Amino acid sequence: MTTLLISDLHLEEERPEITRAFLLFLQERARKAEALYILGDLFESWIGDDAMSRFHHSIAKALRELAEHGTHIFLMHGNRDFLIGKRFCDEAGCRLLVDASVVELGGERVLLTHGDRLCTGDEAYMRLRRWLRNPLSLWILHHLPLTTRRRLARRLRKESRVHTLRKPVEITDVTPEEVPPLMARHGVQIMVHGHTHRPAVHEFQLNGRQARRIVLGDWDSQAWVLQVDRQGFRLEPVAI
């Protein structure tokens, strides 16, 4: 049995090469897998299921075809597309996972998360995250007019790019001290996440045993896929 995990594709019409690579991945490699996990930021932005464009419907259609072929698809919110809801998931044939979730992969209990919750050194972002994920804020966002949501999304994306360029690298990365308590709380020795765009396998000791934090890469100049099968966990770059 093979399971594939990806994240941070940031799909948008302005980057057709990434979309082509993703559709090819769904049609070929993903069809041979038992399950596909997408750990956030499938799209560059998402202002609500009621704002789906022809582009979004085409991605949902491709995912639905994969699901009907027999691959189980699991989707997690990212910091860019946390407004994805039931309508899109139903159309795409995928199941929405809570961040964070524990699943069994390769005979191991594995904690899956998008990863932004671990970047506590970026205090400004964490404040914004708490506000955006508050149930009242989510209700307000869902009920704003589409034009207002589009304007707000453009503003947030612009500010995010500017602030990211100005921040030290260590601020936008995971705070290492946040990892062991979260893993211990969920009773796991393996964590998989994305968000930071820094693909790597970090090994350390947790409760006297070997532990791993596997970081998925973003899809840009190349794609990144974590494959889990009988041979273990393999994080691999894929040409685009």
| 3-class SS of residue 120 | coil
* 160 is annotated as contributing to ligand binding: yes
CB atoms near residue 136 (< 10 Å)? 8
Element (H, E) at 232: strand 232-239
* 80 is annotated as contributing to ligand binding: yes
State how far the alpha carbon of 195 is from the alpha carbons of 29, 149, 174, in Å.
23, 23, 9
State how far the alpha carbon of 240 is from the alpha carbons of 62, 130, 237, in Å.
18, 35, 9
* 195 is annotated as contributing to ligand binding: yes
* 197 is annotated as contributing to ligand binding: yes
Distance of CA 201 to the CA centre of its chain: 17
Q: In sequence order, what are the residues at sequence separation of 6 or more whose Cβ sits closer than 8 angstroms to the Cβ of residue 71?
A: 30, 31, 33, 34, 35, 36
* 53 is annotated as contributing to ligand binding: no
* 79 is annotated as contributing to ligand binding: yes
* 229 is annotated as contributing to ligand binding: no
CA distance 129 to 217: 21
* 19 is annotated as contributing to ligand binding: no
User: 113 is written with which tokens?
Assistant: 């998360």
List binding-site positions for substrate. Answer: 79-80, 122, 160, 164, 167, 195
Give the residue numbers of the binding site. Answer: 8, 10, 41, 79-80, 114, 122, 160, 164, 167, 195, 197
Annotated binding site for Mn(2+): 8, 10, 41, 79, 114, 195, 197
